[in-house]
Structure 1
Amino acid sequence: MDLMGKATEIVGGIMVGLRRAHSPKVQAIGPEPAIPDPKAQGIMTLKMPSAKGWAPGHLPTTAPGLKVNAFASGLDHPRWIEVLPNGDVLVAEACEEPGPPKSFMDRAAQATMRRAGALVRSANRITLWRDEDGDGVAETRHVFIEGQHQPFGMALVGNTFYIGNTDGIVAFPYEEGATSLTGEGRKLVSFKPHGHWTRSLIASPDGTKIYAGVGSLSNIGDQGMEAEEGRAAIWEMDIASGQSRIFASGLRNAVGTAWEPVTGKLWTVVNERDGLGDETPPDYLTSVQDGGFYGWPYCWWGQNVDERVSQDPALVARAITPDYALGGHTASLGLCWMPEGTLSGFGEGMVIGQHGSWNRSILSGYRLIFVPFRDGRPDGAPRDILSGFLSPDEKFSYGRPVGVTVGADGKSLLMADDVGDIIWRVTAA
């Protein structure tokens, strides 16, 4: 461990110890969460378990009535999954590539991330996995495309395959059954890289538009709002014209997106700001309105003003309160709609991959959860689908959930684990 890493571990341990006794005992969850008052931390809490991975025979814990197996293993930081119409499973393998640290806190945060295995060389590729005999385990692997710029989101519309690189959306021709993409691809939209680097993609149900999540550069506009232009937003690209625009804004880091079929609304999960407490403000799941503004960086959970930020009262006044709180710093990244009948014992609702916290005294997230829906709205408390990714003493993470999607058979879930380097498959027991 380098000197910065050791210093961070010591200082972080002191701050965690001081704050742990005062950490909220109940998570801020649901449509009307109990959110503790904000308290600026000064020196931010830095706590992340060391990446350990899974020993042979060691599996995540499933909800009663379910079982889990490794669909694919030996990956390099798998982050996002796309299932093609023919059943092929595509996996984006990439991770953060940090720029030079600009402050002590940057250095400390990077040292914490390295210990967790989150800052390593990015594979920058998409691999294709094929389960030819239908037994729930992929037998063949192909490099679908490599040499990309932190690829993450993927979408297939007709015979065109779209990739969400950190610096923009690229399109390639695709033929059904192909095991690789060829050519350079066409750059359709450019995004600013760095900061929150993931670029999730989802096509509209009618195949006319692509939506992309573009996270902020910083925590609360620390480098000025000019640097944040075009960020903290969900973008919409019209496929026919190639024109793009910001669809919704004020979303600090909107990652996974999903369509809710009853109302036809787009939903997303958002990672909120740091430095105001273990449970303040909560990450959230919300429907997304065209032209809607959701508060970042000026306020959170409606009109709760962040006193650390130079204010814009007009934007604060029109900030939309999110639909459903997911708890503070859970790093909810993956999102998919799960129809009723997919998993035994679960109805319809949203499935969320919670990557897990690194900046609170008692860790949160590190699980795959289900939020039940009724009539197009969340309806009830979240339930675990997979857990056990974190050691009981919080020193090690065996895995960290990221992207999730329904399997080609309609009776399973596939989830990317970027510490275990595994794609997990969940089915009825």
Structure 2
Amino acid sequence: MAGGADLPSPSLDQNDPEAPDFERLPKVVDAPQGRMPAVPQGFTVQVVAKDLNKPRVIRIAPNGDVFVAESGSGRALVFPAEAAKGGASTPQAFAENLDRPFGIAFYPPDDPRYVYVAAANQVVRFPYRSGDRKARGPAEVIIADIPTKRHWTRDLAVSRDGQRLFVSIGSASNVAAGMPNKSPEEIKAFERTHGLGAAWGEEENRALVRVFDPEGGSVRNFATGLR
């Protein structure tokens, strides 16, 4: 990973000297031939897979299988547990045709019967039994119609008591500049039903964490005002 001194200095938009220009990005170079990352004594680094299409999240199933959200291809991949023990491995497509999948969760956590996947536009689940390398059935939509503008990554987590799941939903902009004005009284009234610091307009139900039951019958805002 490059340090701060290795990155190019940010440039400024000529039309607006106060606005940073984010187009000057670092250049990615290939790793030196035969070199691997340096790790502490007692650890080793091995290549398990390469040339994946925007892999974003890794989750380990209770049996040790490695699930990977390959956001660029719209797939959830699975590597057998033995792949982590050494050598390259070819993954299998556990699920396909997803819109930029990201979060993965096993439910119930200890002996899962479902694999939940958070795509950009919805949360779905697939029937699952330990050791499955392909979903046992089609996707069941748990939360539908999540807006996809701008920040699209959606992570998942299961509550400690195993009764609920959480999904993160990013904002539709960087600074919420498109939100229409509200009076202080209107903001208070809105927050009473949506949560303290919740956004409105195109940002409604964005920049927050939602909590839902495993069947998706009850979905509500859990943490708001995060952007």
The residue aligned with 1:143 is: 93
Residue of 124, 127, 152 corresponding to 1:170 = 124
Alignment check: 8 A CA contact 2:48 2:84 kept? no
Provide the C-alpha distance between the structure 2 equivalents of 1:170 and 1:80, rounded to a whole number of angstroms.
16
Provide the C-alpha distance between the structure 2 equivalents of 1:167 and 1:133, rounded to a whole number of angstroms.
31
Q: What is the percent sequence identity of the aligned residues?
A: 31
Q: TM-score, normalising length from structure 2?
A: 0.75
Residue of 154, 171, 174 corresponding to 1:216 = 171
Amino acid at match of 2:154: R
1:64 Cα offset (Å)? 6.2
1:68 Cα offset (Å)? 2.6
The residue aligned with 2:185 is: none
Alignment check: 8 A CA contact 2:11 2:21 kept? no
Amino acid at match of 1:44: P
Pair 1:238 & 2:193 matched: no
Give SS of 2:138's match: coil
The residue aligned with 2:19 is: 43
Provide the C-alpha distance between the structure 1 equivalents of 2:140 and 2:151, rounded to a whole number of angstroms.
23
Provide the C-alpha distance between the structure 1 equivalents of 2:17 and 2:117, rounded to a whole number of angstroms.
38
1:62 Cα offset (Å)? 3.2
1:240 Cα offset (Å)? 5.2
Provide the C-alpha distance between the structure 1 equivalents of 2:89 and 2:11, rounded to a whole number of angstroms.
48
The structure with the greater share of residues assigned to strand is 1
Alignment check: 8 A CA contact 1:131 1:139 kept? no
Provide the C-alpha distance between the structure 1 equivalents of 2:129 and 2:10, rounded to a whole number of angstroms.
53
- Pairs within 5 Å for 1:74-89: 74-89=51-66
Alignment check: 8 A CA contact 1:166 1:194 kept? no
Alignment check: 8 A CA contact 2:10 2:20 kept? no
The residue aligned with 1:201 is: 156
Pair 1:57 & 2:34 matched: yes
Residue of 103, 106, 116 corresponding to 1:156 = 106
Deviation per CA, 1:251-306: give whole Å up to 9, x if none: 12xxxxxxxxxxxxxxxxxxxxxxxxxxxxxxxxxxxxxxxxxxxxxxxxxxxxxx
- Pairs within 5 Å for 1:398-409: none
Residue of 124, 127, 130 corresponding to 2:74 = 124
- Pairs within 5 Å for 1:27-426: 42-46=18-22, 47-62=24-39, 66-94=43-71, 122-132=72-82, 135-157=85-107, 158-190=112-144, 191-224=146-179, 225-239=200-214, 242-252=217-227
Alignment check: 8 A CA contact 1:131 1:138 kept? no
1:13 Cα offset (Å)? 5.8
Give the structure, 1 or 2, with the largest relative contact order (CA under 8 Å, sep 6 or more): 1
Provide the C-alpha distance between the structure 2 equivalents of 1:234 and 1:52, rounded to a whole number of angstroms.
36
Give SS of 2:20's match: coil
Deviation per CA, 1:212-253: give whole Å up to 9, x if none: 11110101102224000001001111125621111001112x
Amino acid at match of 1:75: L
Q: Decide whether aligned partners of structure 1 residues 13 and 234 sit closer, same or farther in structure 2, where only a CA change above 3 A counts.
A: closer
Amino acid at match of 1:54: A
Q: TM-score, normalising length from structure 1?
A: 0.41
> Structure 2 regions of 5+ residues with no counterpart?
1-8, 180-199
Provide the C-alpha distance between the structure 2 equivalents of 1:219 and 1:134, rounded to a whole number of angstroms.
38
Alignment check: 8 A CA contact 1:130 1:138 kept? no
> Structure 1 regions of 5+ residues with no counterpart?
1-11, 17-39, 95-121, 253-429
Alignment check: 8 A CA contact 2:115 2:126 kept? yes
The residue aligned with 2:12 is: 15
Number of equivalent positions: 192
1:14 Cα offset (Å)? 4.1
1:207 Cα offset (Å)? 1.6
Q: Decide whether aligned partners of structure 1 residues 244 and 60 sit closer, same or farther in structure 2, where only a CA change above 3 A counts.
A: same
Provide the C-alpha distance between the structure 2 equivalents of 1:143 and 1:240, rounded to a whole number of angstroms.
24
Deviation per CA, 1:49-82: give whole Å up to 9, x if none: 1233434323334356644332322211110011
Provide the C-alpha distance between the structure 2 equivalents of 1:81 and 1:65, rounded to a whole number of angstroms.
23
Alignment check: 8 A CA contact 1:131 1:140 kept? no
Alignment check: 8 A CA contact 1:129 1:138 kept? no
Alignment check: 8 A CA contact 1:81 1:90 kept? yes
